[in-house]
Amino acid sequence: MSAMFGVFRREFASYFATPVAYVFIVIFLLLSGALTFYMGDFYERGQADLQPFFQFQPWLYLFLVPAVAMRLWAEERKSGTIELLLTLPVTMTQAVLGKFLAAWAFVAIALALTFPIWLTANYLGQPDNGAILAGYLGSLLMAGAFLAIGSCLSATTRSQIVAFILTVTTCFLFLLAGFPLVLNFFRSFLPQALVDGIASLSFLAHFAAIAKGVLDLRDLLFFALVIGFWLYAGALLLDLKKAD
Amino acid sequence: MIETDNLTRLYGDIVAVAGISFRVEPGQVLGFLGPNGAGKSTTMKMLAGFLAPSAGSAKVCGHDVETEPLAAKRTLGYLPEGAPSYGEMSVREFLQFIVRMRRIDPEQRRRRLHEVIGRLQLERVLEQPIDTLSKGFKRRVGLAQAIVHDPKVLILDEPTDGLDPNQKHEVRGLINAMARERTIVISTHLLEEVHAVCNRVVIIAHGRLLADATPAELEARSRYHGAVSFSAVSSLAAREALERLPVVESVEVDPLDGRITVFPRQGRQILGDVQALLAAQGIRITEIQLERGRLDEVFRRITTGPAAEAAA
Ligand SMILES: Nc1ncnc2c1ncn2[C@@H]1O[C@H](COP(=O)(O)OP(=O)(O)OP(=O)(O)O)[C@@H](O)[C@H]1O
Ligand SMILES: [Mg+2]
């Protein structure tokens, strides 16, 4: 446990060792604000809730979260520190989890810093704060799912750019899994049962309900499973491909 | 203690380590020698628990590196090839990270950190990001990281590569000081290092173990072992007379500086005879030396000889 915390602590601090963290947070906040207020018709809708804020988040995450995740393992490979880290008394599970949680905590901080939007809603009207909290929770879970995908794909390469592109592409597919664009493609060669399976993997479908403030255990479980699956796959890949 | 049994590692089709077995006891400093690509680093990566062996096994202090990896890693300090470390961290932050990961008692942490920082003379760069350090300082940080928890087993991949002569001396002193109750394996391309710190040498080439001996035993295999070399004012006369001595096998003159080397017949001592002859002939010598044998020559012969060819 303390080994995992050691990994977590180092990784988390490393985000703030360079200006990257601050740049990321500023961009995230600016884009969140801009999308919410200009494109989301926050004021004009005349409703006090954070729907306009949450509805753009999957798309914001699509590019920003892979940027956080890309360095997780690719950097360790490139600099050779993976050899140092994995010869310390730490298990692969502890290393993978520690790093993932550090990235997640970082994204959580960026997300928490959007609180002025929430304050604005409360100033303008009487929103359902329970629903907003649920929205934030769902948003954090979705970010975690993106990060887990990024962690796994970052483990496959020593190039952060390659990790970024792979992660954006994969996340994009997961986001759109429920859309005709993707489903029609799969329908051309897969049986309907599998196509339905793919449709049920759509991040957007699962997030939409949470963003409206409806906390369904199945949606939470879905994201938890996605995170678990990709982290596990990442650990396996690392174990198999340590040499290259 | 380190024990390997038929340790083997493949990278795809490449056989990097082809069945190496050896045993290192506490108190021994094993020098791991071999040409580039011989499989030294690969072997060390397996001992340190980074790479899984493709076949065979390795044990560190009785813990199998595959079935009890954590126990093995706890007893071990490891300097990977190239001394990688987290560049954005300062030396102090990095060492504190290692100390936490190694679970050293909080009371001891300060003392241990103080000790390694002093020993590797890192005081001056403590607050500097590792990325901005010179190569030698990076290597020293890597060494500090490997010994900070006072491990029973030390595996150092080219520990003095890139260090200045003073630091090489320091680090060798450090290894000697640690050697008493510990098991140490170092890989190196510097043969003088073998003399300075190792009491045992293993030579590998093409992933196979070709020699396992003490430095003195290896030197004894040299053509130069027991030879006498000297510089004389006029060397021509001397050469003729020396060649006629019954204990002498042959005489060679260095074409560059005219230094004469006299090789003994198998197992003979010739220093006395050579000196007597030179005195009798009235040949003035400026300096004379009994050779112990040359490791570089033995190394070359072993790693390019028939055994190495067979391994390749
Ligand atoms: N990740 C890898 N993938 C494929 N082949 C590798 C890999 N690492 C090493 N090798 C190969 O394995 C062999 C042994 O390499 P190793 O690094 O163990 O040699 P070495 O004895 O440490 O050499 P050097 O003295 O140059 O450090 C070499 O042929 C090398 O090309
Ligand atoms: Mg090497």
Give the number of beta-carbon pairs within 8 Å between A and B. 68
Q: Residue A215 above 90 pLDDT?
A: no
Instruction: Report yes or no: A76 and A152 within 8 Å, Cβ to Cβ.
Output: no
Q: B76: distance to nearest CA of chain A, Å?
A: 9
Q: Each residue of B109-159: pLDDT tens digit? A: 999 999 999 999 999 999 999 999 999 999 999 999 999 999 999 999 999
Both B147 and B278 in one domain: the answer is no
Give the pLDDT band of residue A49 (cuts 50, 70, 90). low
Is A243's C-beta closer than 6 angstroms to any atom of ligand 1?
Answer: yes
Q: Which of residues 126-145 of B touch A (CB under 8 A)?
A: 129, 145
Interface contact B101-A3, CB threshold 8 A? yes
Three-class DSSP category at A80 = coil
Which ligand sits nearest to residue B15's alpha carbon?
Answer: 1
Both B150 and B26 in one domain: the answer is yes
Domain residue limits at B262: 228-291
Return the DSSP state at A215. Answer: -
The reported pLDDT for the residue numbered B156 is 96
Query: How many Cβ atoms from other residues are within 10 Å of residue A179's Cβ?
Result: 13
Q: Residue A1 above 70 pLDDT?
A: no
Q: Each residue of A103-130: pLDDT tens digit? A: 999 999 999 998 888 888 788 878 888 8
Residue of B214, B196, B184, B187 lying closest to B27 (CA atoms): B184
Both B287 and B193 in one domain: the answer is no
The reported pLDDT for the residue numbered A190 is 81
Distances (CA, A) of A134 to A49, A117, A137, A139, A215: 12, 15, 5, 8, 6
Domains contained in chain A, number? 1
- Top pLDDT among A189 and A169 is at A169
Domain residue limits at A134: 2-240
The minimal CB distance from B103 to the residues A2, A9, A242 is found for: A2
Query: How many Cβ atoms from other residues are within 10 Å of residue B118's Cβ?
Result: 10
The reported pLDDT for the residue numbered B211 is 93
Best mutation target among B17, B41, B93, B100 (most A Cβ atoms within 10 Å) is B100
Q: Residue A171 above 70 pLDDT?
A: yes
Q: Residue B234 above 80 pLDDT?
A: no
Domains contained in chain B, number? 2
Question: Ligand 2 centroid vs B113 CA: distance in angstroms?
Answer: 28
Residue B310 inside a domain? The answer is no
Q: What is the CATH number of the domain that holds B77?
A: 3.40.50.300
Measured between alpha carbons, how far is A216 from A222 in angstroms, rounded to an integer? Answer: 10
Both B199 and B232 in one domain: the answer is no
Protein residue with least CA distance to atom 28, ligand 1: B37
Residue B309 inside a domain? The answer is no
Instruction: Report yes or no: B138 and B83 within 8 Å, Cβ to Cβ.
Output: yes
Measured between alpha carbons, how far is A230 from A211 in angstroms, rounded to an integer? Answer: 23
pTM: 0.91
Ranked by mean pLDDT, which of B72-76, B194-198, B230-234 comes out on top?
B72-76
Average pLDDT estimate for A198-209:
80
Measured between alpha carbons, how far is A93 from A98 in angstroms, rounded to an integer? Answer: 8
Protein residue with least CA distance to atom 26, ligand 1: B36
Both B50 and B147 in one domain: the answer is yes
Measured between alpha carbons, how far is B232 from B209 in angstroms, rounded to an integer? Answer: 42
Protein residue with least CA distance to atom 25, ligand 1: B36
Measured between alpha carbons, how far is A21 from B194 in angstroms, rounded to an integer? Answer: 47
Ramachandran angles phi, psi of B20, nearest 5°: -105, 130
Our CA angle for B201, B207, B210, nearest 5°, is 40
The reported pLDDT for the residue numbered B241 is 82
Both B32 and B164 in one domain: the answer is yes
Both B215 and B237 in one domain: the answer is no
Nearest C-alpha in A relative to B70: A89
Both B29 and B110 in one domain: the answer is yes
Last residue of a domain, one of B170, B194, B220: B220
Both B101 and B136 in one domain: the answer is yes
Query: What residues contact residue A181 under an 8 Å CB cut-off, 6+ apart?
Result: none
Q: Residue A216 above 90 pLDDT?
A: no
The reported pLDDT for the residue numbered B159 is 93
Query: Which of A170-184, B39-53, B243-257 has the lowest average pLDDT?
Result: A170-184
Is B41's C-beta closer than 6 angstroms to any atom of ligand 1?
Answer: yes
Q: What is the CATH number of the domain that holds B234?
A: 3.30.70.100
Q: Each residue of A72-102: pLDDT tens digit? A: 999 999 999 999 999 999 999 999 999 999 9
Average pLDDT estimate for B185-198:
92
Query: What residues contact residue A116 under an 8 Å CB cut-off, 6+ apart?
Result: none
Task: Kindly write down the DSSP assignment for every residue of chain B, as one continuous string.
Answer: -EEEEEEEEEETTEEEEEEEEEEE-TT-EEEEE--TTSSHHHHHHHHTTSSPPSEEEEEETTEETTTSHHHHHHTEEEE-TT----TTSBHHHHHHHHHHHTT--HHHHHHHHHHHHHHTT-GGGTTSBGGGS-HHHHHHHHHHHHHTT--SEEEEESTTTT--HHHHHHHHHHHHHHHTTSEEEEE-S-HHHHHHH-SEEEEEETTEEEEEE-HHHHHHTSTTTT-EEEEESSHHHHHHHHHTSTTEEEEEE-TTT--EEEEESTT---HHHHHHHHHHHT--EEEEEE----HHHHHHHHHHSHHHHHH-
Chain B residues whose beta carbon lies within 8 Å of the beta carbon of residue A3: 101, 103
The share of chain B scoring above pLDDT 90, in percent, equals 67
Both B165 and B258 in one domain: the answer is no
The alpha carbons of chain A give a radius of gyration, in whole angstroms, of 19
Is B205's C-beta closer than 6 angstroms to any atom of ligand 1?
Answer: no
Residue of A144, A167, A143 lying closest to A155 (CA atoms): A167
The reported pLDDT for the residue numbered A41 is 65
